[in-house]
Amino acid sequence: MIRLQNIEKVYRTDTVETLALNSVSLDIAKGEFLSVMGPSGCGKSTLLNIMGLLDMPTKGEIRIGDNKTENLTDKQLAQFRNKTIGFIFQSYHLINDLKVIDNVELPLLYRSLSAKERKELAGKALEKVGLSNRVKHFPTQLSGGQKQRVAIARAIVGRPEIILADEPTGNLDSAMGNEIMDILLQLNQRDGTTIVMVTHDENMAKKTHRLVRLFDGSQVQ
Amino acid sequence: MIRHLFKLAWNKKKQNFLLITEMFVSFIVMFAVFTLMVFYYNNYKTSMGFDYDNVWVANYTPPQNITTTDSFQIFHQSLGNMVRSMPQVNDISFTSANVPFAMSTNSTEVSFGNNRHIRTNVYQTENDYKKVLNLKMAEGRWFTDADKITGKYTPVVINSKLKESLFGNTAAIGKIIREEQFDEVPPADKYRVIGVAENMKDKGDYQEVENGMFVAIDTGWMRNAGNILIHVKPNADAAFEGRLSKALSNAIGTSIEIEHLDKKLQSKNLLMLVPLIIALIVAGFLIINVALGLYGVLWYNINKRKAEIGLRRAVGASGADVSKQLVGEALVLATIALIIGTFFAVQFPLLNVFDLPAGVYITALLLAVLFIYLLVLFCALYPGRQAAAIYPAVALHEE
Ligand SMILES: Nc1ncnc2c1ncn2[C@@H]1O[C@H](COP(=O)(O)OP(=O)(O)OP(=O)(O)O)[C@@H](O)[C@H]1O
Ligand SMILES: [Mg+2]
C-alpha cells in the first residue's frame, strides 16, 4: 500500500542543517496497522508528513498504491490526500470557528458533493465515533477525548484507504486514550483501513501489527 | 463553498465586526464622492445653451451726478451708441450684474396654479441680449421695442426649466405668472410669458441648470448697476480692449473693468471644483488608510490561521483553494458591508434628501459597490497568494 525507498529528509535553516530522516525504507501492506516509536525529535512526524504527501523528501521515492508521487502537481497532490489519506494529529487541529458537523464535513468540501450528501456522510462518521449528540457544538465546548473523536470522524468521513495518526492519544489520559485506540483498531479490523500511528506508549504499540523504531532519523527496528 | 464562507463569517462575527464597519464607512464615503462626481459629470455633459466666445463684459459704477431719469436715459443711450459704433463690436446689451459666470445672482419666487414659490433667477436684458449670447428660443419670441409700452403685465421670457417647473407639459405662452417675493405687498399676478428660451448653464460647466426668467431692463435699474455684455468680432485684440476701456471711462467718468467670459468660465469652474477636489483628497486619504488596514488585518489573519491553512491542505485543499478561500472570505465580508451600506444609500433617493435626480444616486451606488469590491479584492489578493505558498507541513507544525 505504501512503499518508501531510501527516504532522506534534510531541513535547512540559515544556520543549521538537520538530517531528520536518513535513508528510511518501509513497506506497508494494505490493511496493516503499523506503529512508529522513537525519542522526541527523531523524525517520526517528518516521516508521517512525507507518507501523507504534506512534505517532500530530499531524496528517495514514495509509492502509494500503484501511484508514483514525485511528479504530481500541487493540485493533484491535494486531490490525492483528499481521496486516499485521513490525518489525525496530537493537537486535533479542529477549526474552532466551525461547529463539530462542519469540521467533519471539511474534507468533503473539496469534493463535488451536495450539501445534503455532505451532511449525511458527516453524520454517519460522527455516529461511528459515538458523537451523534454533539453535532451542533463548537470544538471549545468539547473535552480532549471528544475533540480527538471529532478529528477521527473528519479523517474517516471521505472513506480513505489510509489513516495517518500522529500521537493521537498524546494529549489524553489513559482511559480516553484507550477509547481512541479502540476506535482505530475497529477501523482497521472492520473496514480494513491501513493505519500508521506514531506513539510514545508501548501498550498502544503492542496492540498493532508491527512496530517501527526510529532513532536520529534512522530506522533501528 | 460559498455557504461555507458565509458560515465562517457568521461564526466569527465578533472578529469581523470592525472590518465590516471599516468597509461600510468606506462605502458611504465613496458613495458621497461618486454622487458628487456623477452629478458634476451629468452637468458637464449638458450643453451650455449659449455662446460665450468673444463675449466681453464691461462693468462700471453708474455716474452719481445724473439725477433725473430722463437725463439718465439719454446718458445710457449715447453710451450704448458709442460702443455699438466701434468697428470691432457686433452687438451689445446692458444687463444686470448676474452676467454669465459671475458670482452675483438675482432671484425671486414665482407661482402658477399649484406650483407655488418656485425660486428662479431673474436676468435684466435688452432686445440684443439674445443675439449677444446667441440664445436659442424653444417657443414664442424674444423682446422687441413693442414690449416697452407698459401694459397690465410685464412681458417675460422664461427658460425651459422654469417652464417645466411652472407649467409641466402644458403650454406656457400667454400664461400669467404671479410674483411672491415681497412680504409686505400681497402677491400679485405680474408677468405674462411671451417666449421660452433654451436652458442656459450660466454658472459654469459643472453647475446644474437652474430656473431662469428674462425681463426687459428698466432705466430705474440702470442707475444702480452698470454691466454691458459686448459681443466683439474675432479680430478684437488687446489694443482694441485698451481703446474700449479708455472710451468707456471717459464717457462714464468712473473706473471700469473689462472681463472676457471665457476667462470667467475658467475661474468659475475652478471654484465649483474645489469641494470635489477636497472631497477627493479626504476620501483618498481615508481609502489609503482603509486599504492598508485591510491588508494588514488580512495578512495578520493568515499568520494567525496557519494551522487551519495547514489542516485544509492536509484534507485536500490545493494552494489555489486556500488562496481562493481567503479572498472569498474578504469578499463575503465586503458583501455584508455593502448590503448594510446600500440600505442606507437608497434612503437618499427615496427621501429625496438633496433634491438630486435618482439616476445620479443609483449610478453612484453602483460605482461605490464596484469600487469597494475592487479595493477588497486588491487588498486580499496578495495575502491570499502568500497563504497559498505556505508549506502544509510547516503550517501544521505551528500552534
Ligand atoms: N520545518 C522544520 N524546519 C527545520 N527543522 C525541522 C522542521 N521540522 C522538523 N525539524 C527537525 O527535524 C527533526 C525531526 O522532527 P520531527 O518533528 O519529525 O520529530 P518527532 O520525532 O516527531 O518529535 P516529537 O516526538 O517531539 O513530535 C527535529 O530535529 C526537528 O527539529
Ligand atoms: Mg512529532
CA A1 to chain centre: 15
**A208 Cβ closer than 6 Å to some ligand 1 atom:** no
CA A49 to chain centre: 9
**Contact: A115, B3; criterion CB under 8 Å:** yes
Same domain, B202 and B317: no
Beta bridge partners of A86: A163
Q: Which residue is associated with the grid cell 513497506?
A: A27
DSSP track, B56-105: EEEEEPPPTT--SHHHHHHHHHHHHHHHHTSTTEEEEEE--S--TT-S--
Say what the pLDDT of residue A76 is.
Answer: 92
User: Based on the structure, what is the number of domains in chain B?
Assistant: 2
Answer yes or no: is B262 within a domain: no
Residues of chain B in contact with residue A106, where contact means CB-CB under 8 angstroms, are 311-312, 315
Alpha-carbon distance of B321 to A40, in angstroms, equals 33
Identify which ligand lies nearest to the alpha carbon of A46.
1
Same domain, B202 and B348: no
Residues of chain A in contact with residue B322, where contact means CB-CB under 8 angstroms, are none
Same domain, B15 and B110: no
**Contact: B311, A95; criterion CB under 8 Å:** yes
Answer yes or no: is B51 within a domain: no
Say what the pLDDT of residue A206 is.
Answer: 93
Farthest CA pair distance, chain A: 52
Answer yes or no: is B261 within a domain: no
To test the pocket of ligand 1, the residue of A44, A198, A218 to mutate (highest count of ligand atoms within 8 Å of its CB) is A44
Below-70 pLDDT ranges, chain A: none
Same domain, B20 and B74: no
Alpha-carbon distance of A157 to A118, in angstroms, equals 9
Answer yes or no: is B55 within a domain: no
Same domain, B157 and B217: yes
Say what the pLDDT of residue B146 is.
Answer: 82
Below-70 pLDDT ranges, chain B: 181-185, 398-399
Best mutation target among A18, A74, A90 (most B Cβ atoms within 10 Å) is A74
Hey, which bits of chain A come out as E strands?
2-12, 17-28, 33-37, 59-64, 67-68, 85-89, 162-166, 194-198, 210-215, 218-219
**A43 Cβ closer than 6 Å to some ligand 1 atom:** yes
Give the Å distance between the CA of A126 and the centre of ligand 2. Answer: 26
Closest CA to B366 of B19, B102, B35: B35
Q: Is B211 in contact with B120 (CB distance < 8 Å)?
A: yes
Beta bridge partners of B258: B58
Cell digits of residue A105: 464535513
**Contact: A89, B8; criterion CB under 8 Å:** no
Same domain, B35 and B182: no
Find, in chain A, the residue whose alpha carbon is nearest to that of B306: A93
Residues of chain A in contact with residue B393, where contact means CB-CB under 8 angstroms, are 49, 54-55
Q: Is B390 in contact with B306 (CB distance < 8 Å)?
A: yes
Same domain, B30 and B70: no
> Tens of pLDDT along B164-212?
999 998 999 989 999 886 665 677 788 999 999 999 999 999 989 999 9
* CB < 8 Å & 24+ apart, contacts of B17-21: B19/B294, B19/B297, B19/B333, B20/B333, B20/B336, B20/B337, B20/B340, B21/B337
Entry pTM: 0.83
Residue A111 contacts B, CB cutoff 8 Å: yes
**Contact: B315, A110; criterion CB under 8 Å:** yes
ipTM exceeding the 0.85 mark: yes
> Tens of pLDDT along A28-77?
999 999 999 999 999 999 999 999 999 999 999 999 888 888 888 999 99
Residues of chain A in contact with residue B3, where contact means CB-CB under 8 angstroms, are 115
- Which atom of ligand 1 is closest in space to residue A21's alpha carbon? 14
Same domain, B132 and B222: yes
Give the Å distance between the CA of A155 and the centre of ligand 2. Answer: 18
- What contacts B20, CB < 8 A, 6 or more positions away? B333, B336, B337, B340
Residue B1 contacts A, CB cutoff 8 Å: yes
**A100 Cβ closer than 6 Å to some ligand 1 atom:** no
Q: What is the DSSP-derived secondary structure letter of residue B346? A: T
- Which atom of ligand 1 is closest in space to residue A43's alpha carbon? 18
**A22 Cβ closer than 6 Å to some ligand 1 atom:** no
**In chain A, which among 163-182 make CB contacts under 8 A with chain B?**
none
Say what the pLDDT of residue B76 is.
Answer: 85
- Which atom of ligand 1 is closest in space to residue B394's alpha carbon? 1
Residues of chain B in contact with residue A151, where contact means CB-CB under 8 angstroms, are none
Parent domain of B197 = 62-254
Residue B7 contacts A, CB cutoff 8 Å: yes
**A18 Cβ closer than 6 Å to some ligand 1 atom:** yes
The domain locations on chain A are: 31-45+72-211
Same domain, B118 and B13: no
Residue A191 Cα distances to A60, A81, A161, A195, B278, angstroms:
31, 19, 9, 11, 71
**Contact: B314, A52; criterion CB under 8 Å:** yes
**Contact: B11, A97; criterion CB under 8 Å:** yes
Alpha-carbon distance of B387 to B395, in angstroms, equals 10
Say what the pLDDT of residue B55 is.
Answer: 95
Say what the pLDDT of residue B66 is.
Answer: 77
Closest CA to ligand 1's atom 1 = B394
Cβ of A133: how many Cβ atoms within 10 Å?
8
**In chain A, which among 7-36 make CB contacts under 8 A with chain B?**
none
d(CA A92, nearest CA chain B) in Å: 10
Cβ of B12: how many Cβ atoms within 10 Å?
17
Find, in chain B, the residue whose alpha carbon is nearest to that of A52: B314
Q: Is B357 in contact with B369 (CB distance < 8 Å)?
A: no
Point out the residue among A110, A138, A158 whose CB comes nearest to the CB of B317: A110
Same domain, B281 and B353: yes
Same domain, B233 and B207: yes
**CB pairs A-B closer than 8 Å:** 71
**A42 Cβ closer than 6 Å to some ligand 1 atom:** yes
Say what the pLDDT of residue B377 is.
Answer: 95
Closest CA to ligand 1's atom 11 = A20
Alpha-carbon distance of A177 to B68, in angstroms, equals 115
Closest CA to ligand 1's atom 25 = A40
Same domain, B118 and B232: yes
Q: Give the CATH number of domain A31-45+72-211; options: 3.40.50.1460, 3.30.930.10, 3.40.50.300, 1.10.3720.10.
A: 3.40.50.300
